[in-house]
Structure 1
Amino acid sequence: MVLPGKATLVEVGPRDGLQNETGLIASADKIELINALARAGLTRIEAGAFVNPKWVPQMADSEAVLAGIERRAGVSYSALTPNLKGFERALAAKADEVAIFAAASEAFSQKNLNCSIDKSLARFAEVTQAAAQAKIPVRGYISCVLGCPYSGAVDPALCVDIAEALFDMGCFEVSLGDTIGVGTAASTQALLTPMLQKFNPKQLAVHMHDTYGQALANVYQSLQMGISVIDASVAGLGGCPYAKGASGNLATEDVLYLLNGLGIEHGIDLNQVVVAGDVMCRKLGIANHSRVAQALLSQNA
């Protein structure tokens, strides 16, 4: 086992985290969070989503957020773009990177995207073609890679096929998402084994949810297999919509603590991230879901 010497965190809290929170969140608070995370050393931050505000009202102000942030050198501010219209909005808002999202389950694709997997990929090809012309990098997401809330187990071979389609259309990286957090170290290994037979580990990222408390174990398994890009959400923002009351996103602070313990370089100040997450949780009036943040904040109380 040779762990990566360096890891990169993709901070998804301002998008994947906040979009699942109830109640109106002021654009200024989102901007403050993104700026604080960038100052802490995070170099890849999902700043918004250009989706239909009827479906994701929390992201309706993504233009204003991208216009208001302090753009730091060396930081990539990305946005989710499900279709060509969304991409055009992201381009106008000067997003540095865009992301498209497929599902490894026909049932989830129909529920979440209102179309089949093949149809969603055809739609995304329009985005990647436009992005190539504009010289904007495109990241691909695959959701439900370790299980679907509607159809259960997912075949790793299907995930490989979808990843290949995303790479073929021009994605530079594919993030593998355990959307409902049912994965274990064993199922993570079973997914990554065929993935790494086909793709370089530098092409892949993992996006683990913590519904059953297995996210860190799954990240550790991924690190052992050479994956060095990890998606995480400050303070564990964003619940799991498929398991009532369950935690959802893996907390950035908890990943950083793991990386520190393993001696893996990341260039991020853990204490600054803890403060940024705590400030946002207080504004939202919610509990901080990071176990590491809870421990560090209690020491300073």
Structure 2
Amino acid sequence: MREPQVTPIPGLPERVSIYEVGARDGLQNESEVVPVEVKAELVRRLVASGLRAVELTSFVHPRWVPQLADAEQLLDLLGPLSTGELAGVRAPVLVPNARGLERALARDVPELAVFVSATESFARKNLNASRDEALAMSGQVVEGALAAGRSVRGYVSMCFGDPWEGDVDAAAVVDVVLALREQGCHEISLGDTIGVATPGQVVRLLDGLAAAGVPREALAVHFHDTYGQALSNTLIALQQGITTVDSSAGGLGGCPFAMSATGNLATEDLVWQLHGLGIETGVDLPKLVATSVWLAGLMGRPSPSNAVRALG
């Protein structure tokens, strides 16, 4: 399989941590329910390809996301997360509320994730709550998780644009990030949920967060590729000191609660770029491509990932 020619650019990190969201964020947008055995095999293949952070599922109410109604079954198939086949791998589960926290703790999940919108409109569409009410819910989850010895990642959605409100003020995003940090989130992912960001917006937001005292190492970026900007936005984020990037194997995903939200940045496309820049990822690209080809075959359609189409 062809590999990219390695040509580094000065000023980029030596290593980037890839936070794989395909098994949760990637599959949640699928209308046809994927068998839980396939989901478990997907997770195993992603880990076998070298990915060290794989978000597994969400303890959301099945009425809202039927695709993830099998969360407990999936965890049972994968075994104990801390000592079983996923030992040594970050394997977070998204938790929307106190009931989700109970379910996560009952399955001894070591890392949880919470999400809050930077905008009022999406908070009400996604959680049926105001932004402040959503922050209050995330605060309850974080408090309970930390008390139980778990770590918590935070997501901020609609960081650059909202389908109902239009452009998003960077100051609003900063306020939410600061609130999540105060609650105790160890890492906060900045989401371009509808894929409208351009590199200048990324720099402006990161500068605003730095001015508010948020260090780069506490942040991750999560770009969607609606306008084909995900890789360029990622590169500028790396140049600004970001070292954790969210992506989805095969470019799966979107958002069932946001109009016009298309797929996530494809992990294969990201790895091709990073390896071409001489940046270490720990990922075996041929194994990852084979995984996405396998999954695309099961789903009956070609992968939207450019790298998968080129290499698969």
TM-score (normalizing by structure 1): 0.95
Q: Does 1:249 align with 2:258?
A: no
Worse overlay, 63-72 or 213-222: 63-72
Displacement of 1:180 in angstroms is: 0.2
Q: Which residue of 1 aligns with 2:304?
A: 289
Q: Give the whole-Å Cα distance in 1 for the aligned partners of 2:30 and 2:108.
A: 25
Q: Which residue of 2 aligns with 1:169?
A: 183
After superposition, residues 256-271 of structure 1 pair within 5 angstroms as 256-271=271-286
- One-letter identity of the residue aligned with 1:283: L
Q: Which residue of 2 aligns with 1:125?
A: 139
Q: Which residue of 1 aligns with 2:210?
A: 196
Worse overlay, 25-34 or 122-131: 122-131
- One-letter identity of the residue aligned with 2:49: A
Q: Which residue of 2 aligns with 1:213?
A: 228
Question: Conserved in 1, the CA contact under 8 Å of 2:194 and 2:262?
Answer: no
Q: Give the whole-Å Cα distance in 2 for the aligned partners of 1:77 and 1:227.
A: 21
Tell me the matched-pair count.
296
Q: Would you tell me which structure has more helix in proportion to its own residues?
A: 1
Displacement of 1:155 in angstroms is: 0.8
Question: Conserved in 2, the CA contact under 8 Å of 1:66 and 1:94?
Answer: no
- One-letter identity of the residue aligned with 1:79: V
Q: Secondary structure at the match of 1:55?
A: coil
Q: Give the whole-Å Cα distance in 2 for the aligned partners of 1:78 and 1:138.
A: 8
Displacement of 1:94 in angstroms is: 2.6
Residue 58 (structure 2) aligned to one of 41, 46, 49: 49
Q: Give the whole-Å Cα distance in 1 for the aligned partners of 2:248 and 2:25.
A: 8
Q: Secondary structure at the match of 1:77?
A: coil
Q: Give the whole-Å Cα distance in 2 for the aligned partners of 1:176 and 1:239.
A: 15
After superposition, residues 1-301 of structure 1 pair within 5 angstroms as 2-69=11-78, 71-197=85-211, 198-239=213-254, 241=256, 242=258, 247-297=262-312
- One-letter identity of the residue aligned with 1:53: P
Displacement of 1:243 in angstroms is: 5.2
Displacement of 1:92 in angstroms is: 1.5
Q: Give the whole-Å Cα distance in 2 for the aligned partners of 1:267 and 1:73.
A: 16
Displacement of 1:133 in angstroms is: 1.2
What is the RMSD computed on CA atoms of the aligned residues? 1.3
Q: Give the whole-Å Cα distance in 1 for the aligned partners of 2:270 and 2:222.
A: 11
Q: Give the whole-Å Cα distance in 1 for the aligned partners of 2:35 and 2:246.
A: 24
- One-letter identity of the residue aligned with 1:118: D
Q: Give the whole-Å Cα distance in 1 for the aligned partners of 2:259 and 2:135.
A: 28
Question: Conserved in 1, the CA contact under 8 Å of 2:199 and 2:233?
Answer: yes
Displacement of 1:239 in angstroms is: 3.5
Question: Conserved in 1, the CA contact under 8 Å of 2:163 and 2:259?
Answer: no
Q: Secondary structure at the match of 2:56?
A: strand
Q: Cα deviations across residues 64-111 of structure 1 (Å, max 9, x unaligned)?
A: 111112623310111110001101111222322111000011111111
Q: Which residue of 1 aligns with 2:4?
A: none
Worse overlay, 188-197 or 126-135: 188-197
Q: Cα deviations across residues 220-277 of structure 1 (Å, max 9, x unaligned)?
A: 0100000010000000011455455x74211000110111011111111111111111
Q: Secondary structure at the match of 1:20?
A: coil
TM-score (normalizing by structure 2): 0.92
